[in-house]
Amino acid sequence: MSPIAFIAIIIGVPSLSLLAYVFIRGSVGLRRYILTRIVLTLPMVFILGSLVFLVMRVVPGDPVRSALGPKGTPEMIQHIRQELGLNDPMIVQYGRFLVQMFTLRFGNSLIGGHRPIIDEMSERFPATLELVTPASALALAIGVFGGALAASRRKNVTDYGFRIYSVIIYSLPIFWLGLMLQLLFGVRLKLLPISGRIDAVISTTLVHRTNIYTIDALISGNWPAFFSVLQHLVLPTITLGLILSGIFVRLTRINVIETLQADYIAAARARGIRERVLVYGHALKNAMIPVITLIGLQVAILLAGAVLTETVFSWPGMGSYLVERISGRDYTAVQSVITVFALLVALISLAVDVIYSLVDPRVRY
């Protein structure tokens, strides 16, 4: 089964069943809310896609010519232009682009072996997924608990410590952090590998099913591969996760502080509920609601960070794919990648809204 199909199933089945559940059990208000959110996502995708289209069309000169380089004869250029439909009027091109965007048939890459872009992406996307998931988990763990801890001890060493932590992390260029980690653990201490997803030798033993190497290794019981991938994952995950955690610490801290000043917290304290329960049980939960809506925005930062991290660690994901294609002037691929990113952002935004509606009872009822 192709990796794209696999991923589609992994993401699609739970989401659809969640949606179904919500629709069946939820109140009228909830259904209306979710429908509205879905409907509003379409314009966002539309706008982003159009922006991408416009931006790519502003290229001065001929993208095909620059892609083919000096080897390209005028006949070749014309031929490819015809193939890509670049000679058609803008409207037609735009329409075709929209269709492509929604059906995910992006055409072929302009350089290299002219492979279908969708195939190349189906190798790269799981790699990014494999990196981004543990990084987000790490960031959330540090961020949420750190933020709550800092908020509960105001004007105290812990509080200032976390504030300084989040400011420093924010100012830290992610690529520099990656480089420094490479230097320390890869070069000086020689503890961990600094590039690639898996040891080259071991990778020949790995059967690729989903292209998420950890899962593939687990499925086939290939322990050397599994550990190799884990080893390669450590540094990039720490890099990306650490940088993201700065934002989460800050967000959580601010929201928990504000929540702690709420009347119902004082009222609960007056009933004898202990401080620790107040902070972690009540304030944190309530503070998470605004944080959830903001997490959706953090996806943008996550993707940007992924691009840089993948470049530093030569991690073959969507981010490094984008950079490679730009240097190679493969505009079709670049356009496709950015479209995929836009789709991702829109979908996650929608997902966050749905989750938010489930969590906040004021919306539910």
Partner 1 sequence: MTALKERPPEIPSDITTWEVELQKVGLLRRILNARRWYGADWWFVTVSAVLVLVFIMIALFPSWFAPFQPATLVGPSFLAPGAYPPVPVLVVPNTSLVNSLKDLASPEGQPRPSISVVQGGNTAGALNDAAQQIDNQIKNEPGGLRLRPIIDRYPTVEEALQAVVDGRNNAAVIESTEYTSITAQYPTLREGQSISGGANTAGGFLLGTNDIGQDVLSRLLWGTRVALLIGFSSSVVALVLGVPLGLLAGFIGGTPDRLMSLLMDSMYAFPGLILAIAITAVLGPSVFNVIVAIAVLYIPTYYRIVRGQTLSVKEEVYVEAARSIGARSREILQRYIFPNVIPSVAIIFSVNVADAILTGAGLSFLGLGLPPTIADWGIDLARGQRFIQNAWWLITFPGLTIMLVVLAFTLMGEGLMEIFNPKLRER
Partner 2 sequence: MPDDILFSIRDLTVEYLTRAGSVKAVDDVNLNIRRGEILGLVGESGCGKSTLGKALMRLHTGPAQITAGELWFDGRDLMTLSDQEMPEVRGAEIGMVFQDPMTSLNPLQRILEHLTETIHAHEPEVSNSDARARAEELIERLGIRRERIMDYPHQMSGGMRQRVMISLALALKAKLVIADEPTTSLDVIVEAKFLDLLKELQQEFGLTILLITHNIGVVAEISNRVAVMYAAKMVEVGDVNDVFGQPKHPYTQGLLRSVPNIKLDSGELYKMAGAPPDLTHPPSGCRFHPRCPFVMDICGDEVPPLEPIEEGHLTACWLYSSVVKRPEKMHA
- The site for partner 1 (CB under 8 A) is made up of 43-44, 47-48, 51-52, 55-56, 58-60, 154-155, 160, 163, 167-168, 170-176, 179-180, 182-183, 186-187, 194, 254, 257-258, 261, 296-297, 299-304, 307-308, 311-312, 322-323, 326-327, 334, 338, 341-342, 345-346, 349
Evaluate whether 221 touches 118 at the Cβ level (below 8 Å).
no
Residue carrying the six token digits 């924010």: 170
Residue 264 touches which of partner 1, partner 2, none (CB < 5 to 8 A by kind)?
partner 2
Question: Which of residues 76, 114, 264, 304 is near partner 2 by CB under 8 A?
Answer: 264
Distance CA 226, CA 233 (A): 11
The reply on whether position 273 binds partner 2 by CB under 8 A is yes
Q: At 263, which amino acid appears? A: D
**Greatest CA separation found in the chain?**
83
Question: Which of residues 196, 258, 269, 290 is near partner 2 by CB under 8 A?
Answer: 269
Residue 21 touches which of partner 2, partner 1, none (CB < 5 to 8 A by kind)?
none
Evaluate whether 335 touches 52 at the Cβ level (below 8 Å).
yes
Evaluate whether 104 touches 118 at the Cβ level (below 8 Å).
yes
Length of the chain: 365
| Least distance from partner 1 to the Cβ atom of residue 268, Å | 18
User: Which is nearer to partner 2, 70 or 365 (by Cβ)?
Assistant: 365
Site for partner 2 in 345-364 (CB under 8 A): 360-362
The reply on whether position 365 binds partner 2 by CB under 8 A is yes
User: Which is nearer to partner 1, 5 or 55 (by Cβ)?
Assistant: 55
Question: Which of residues 183, 219, 274, 294 is near partner 2 by CB under 8 A?
Answer: 274
Residue 4 touches which of partner 2, partner 1, none (CB < 5 to 8 A by kind)?
none
Evaluate whether 95 touches 285 at the Cβ level (below 8 Å).
no
Cα–Cα nearest to 238, from 147, 158, 137: 137
One-letter-per-residue 3-state SS of 169-209: HHHCCHHHHHHHHHHHHHHHCCCCCCCCCCCHHHHCCCCCC
Distance CA 167, CA 249 (A): 10
Residue 183 touches which of partner 2, partner 1, none (CB < 5 to 8 A by kind)?
partner 1
Q: Which residues pair with 322 in a beta bridge?
A: none
Residues 215-247 as b or e (16 or more Cβ within 10 Å = b):
bbbeeeebeebbebbeebbebbbbbbbbbbbbb
Evaluate whether 303 touches 131 at the Cβ level (below 8 Å).
no
Site for partner 2 in 280-319 (CB under 8 A): 282, 285-286, 289
| Least distance from partner 1 to the Cβ atom of residue 304, Å | 4
Residue 267 touches which of partner 1, partner 2, none (CB < 5 to 8 A by kind)?
partner 2
Binding site for partner 2 (CB under 8 A): 262-264, 266-274, 277, 282, 285-286, 289, 360-362, 365
